[in-house]
């Protein structure tokens, strides 16, 4: 069953020079799928993620997320929709600097005014799952990149959203931390059946997914499914990337694990 359906969505930015960031893009995301979206710089990945986040509205075409059409929602309804159904992970973590790890994680629940007992229970479980016991009362500036990103993942998961949207979650991490984060995401995807949509540059990160969707200049380019080992999937992603003809830069983060 498709949880996200994009039907010929187009996004045009008005300005001195009108410029279309997404052009007639159609795709679907299945319930419980782990999808990577790849593409060279400026291909519209971030725009696409913003559309999925309901932060931005497509200029034309229709987008359905969990049977809801974000375009028909008012700003307030959209906010509540995000609060209940979506979780976010960002490249630079975006933890609130003034809050401790624990507080950052319960933030979405406090917004929903859950009972404090319930919050404590959930945050305790998540902190164990994410191995953050040591840094529970630390502030973001006292964390390593990996810990910070795990905190951010905890924050994205605590309200048990339908979909987690991740924007380059490994972009600021070293290889060890990247691996941990990706394995964590995979585990969450398997165990909780949470749908994850991840935008990434990194073929290694993409190789953890079930499917990779390639876009170029805002248009559908290709997609490949993981059928076998991760290593061969990784190789196929690399092949497609070279076919895509991105810049050398886009390949620079290649690491073998």
Partner 1 sequence: MTFLQFAYRNVIRNRRVYAAYFMASSFSVMVFFIYSMLLFHPSIENQFIQEIAFMGMAVADVVLVIFTLFFLLYSLSAFLQARSKEFGILQQLGMDRSQLQRLVFIETMILGVVALATGIFFGYIFTKLFFMVIRAMLVLDTLPLYFSPEPFLLTAVVFTTLFIVISIAGSIFIRQSAIIQLLSGSTQSRETAHFSKVGAFLSFGLLAVAYGLVLYCLYEMNVWWSPVIILCAIAGSYYFFKDGILYLIHKLQRNKQLYWRSLRIVTFSDAIEKIRENARMYFIVTMVSTLAIISVGVVASLTSFANQYRESNPISVLYVSESGNPYEASHIDQLTSDFYKENLTYTLLTAPVTKQTSAATNRPVQLLRETDINTIAAVLKEPLIDLEPGEGMRFGQEVRDGQEQLIHLRENTIYFHVDEGYQYFPLPEAAFDGPAYILSDEDFERIVNPYLYGDWASSVTTVFAFHVPDWLRTDKVGLTLDREMIASYEGNQELPFYFDNPGLNYSYISSTFSLLLVTGLLVAAVLILAAGSFIYFKFYTNLEKDRRQFEVLRHMGLTNQELRRIANRQLYPQFFLPWGLAMLHATFSFLFLQAVWVDIAAMSIAMEMLIVLGAFTCIQAVYYLLIRWRYFAHLQLHTG
142 belongs to the binding site for partner 1 (CB under 8 A): yes
- On whether the CB atoms of residues 39 and 216 are closer than 8 A, the answer is yes
H helices of 86-115, where?
101-111
- Of 154, 157, 158, 208, the residue nearest 186 (C-alpha): 208
99 belongs to the binding site for partner 1 (CB under 8 A): yes
Pick the piece of the chain touching partner 1 (CB under 8 A) from 8-16, 139-147, 186-194, 208-216.
139-147
CB of 174 to partner 1, least distance (A): 20
Pick the piece of the chain touching partner 1 (CB under 8 A) from 76-84, 175-183, 185-193, 205-213.
76-84
72 belongs to the binding site for partner 1 (CB under 8 A): no
Q: What is the largest CA-CA distance in the chain?
A: 53
7: which strand partners?
62
Alpha-carbon torsion (243, 247, 250, 252), positive or negative = positive
238 belongs to the binding site for partner 1 (CB under 8 A): no
- Of 77, 51, 76, 79, the residue nearest 65 (C-alpha): 51
Pick the piece of the chain touching partner 1 (CB under 8 A) from 21-29, 94-102, 168-176, 208-216.
94-102
Q: How far apart are CA 17 and CA 96, in angstroms?
A: 35
Pick the piece of the chain touching partner 1 (CB under 8 A) from 104-112, 128-136, 191-199, 204-212.
104-112
16 belongs to the binding site for partner 1 (CB under 8 A): no
CB of 45 to partner 1, least distance (A): 16
CB of 173 to partner 1, least distance (A): 19
119 belongs to the binding site for partner 1 (CB under 8 A): yes
Strand order from edge to edge, sheet including 60-65 = 19-30, 2-13, 60-65
2 belongs to the binding site for partner 1 (CB under 8 A): no
Pick the piece of the chain touching partner 1 (CB under 8 A) from 95-103, 187-195, 200-208, 228-236.
95-103
Q: How far apart are CA 245 and CA 251, in angstroms?
A: 10
What would the x/- binding string for partner 1 be over residues 42 to 61, using CB under 8 A?
A: -----------x-x------
Count other Cβ atoms within 10 Å, centred on residue 225: 10
107 belongs to the binding site for partner 1 (CB under 8 A): yes
Using only C-alpha atoms, the chain has a radius of gyration, in whole angstroms, of: 18
251 belongs to the binding site for partner 1 (CB under 8 A): no
């Amino acid at each position: 069953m498709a949880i996200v359906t994009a039907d010929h969505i187009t996004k045009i930015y008005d300005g001195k020079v009108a410029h279309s960031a997404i052009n007639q893009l159609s795709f679907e995301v299945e319930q419980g799928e782990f999808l990577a979206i790849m593409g060279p710089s400026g291909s519209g990945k971030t725009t696409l993620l913003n559309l999925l986040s309901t932060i931005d509205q497509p200029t034309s075409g229709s987008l359905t997320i969990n049977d809801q059409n974000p375009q028909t929602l008012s700003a307030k309804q959209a906010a509540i929709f995000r609060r209940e159904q979506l979780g976010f992970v960002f490249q630079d973590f975006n933890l609130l600097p003034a809050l401790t790890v624990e507080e950052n994680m319960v933030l979405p629940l406090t917004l929903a005014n859950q009972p404090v007992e319930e919050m404590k229970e959930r945050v305790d479980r998540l902190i164990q799952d994410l191995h953050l016991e040591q840094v529970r009362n630390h502030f973001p500036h006292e964390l390593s990149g990996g810990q910070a990103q795990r905190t951010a993942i905890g924050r994205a998961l605590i309200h048990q959203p339908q979909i987690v949207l991740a924007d380059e979650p490994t972009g600021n991490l070293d290889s060890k931390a990247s691996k941990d984060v990706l394995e964590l995401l995979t585990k969450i995807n398997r165990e909780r059946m949470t749908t994850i949509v991840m935008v990434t540059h990194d073929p290694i990160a993409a190789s953890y997914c079930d499917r990779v969707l390639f876009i170029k200049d805002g248009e559908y380019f290709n997609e490949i499914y993981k059928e076998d080992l991760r290593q061969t999937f990784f190789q196929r992603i690399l092949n497609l990337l070279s076919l895509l003809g991105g810049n050398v830069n886009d390949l620079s983060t290649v690491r073998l694990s």
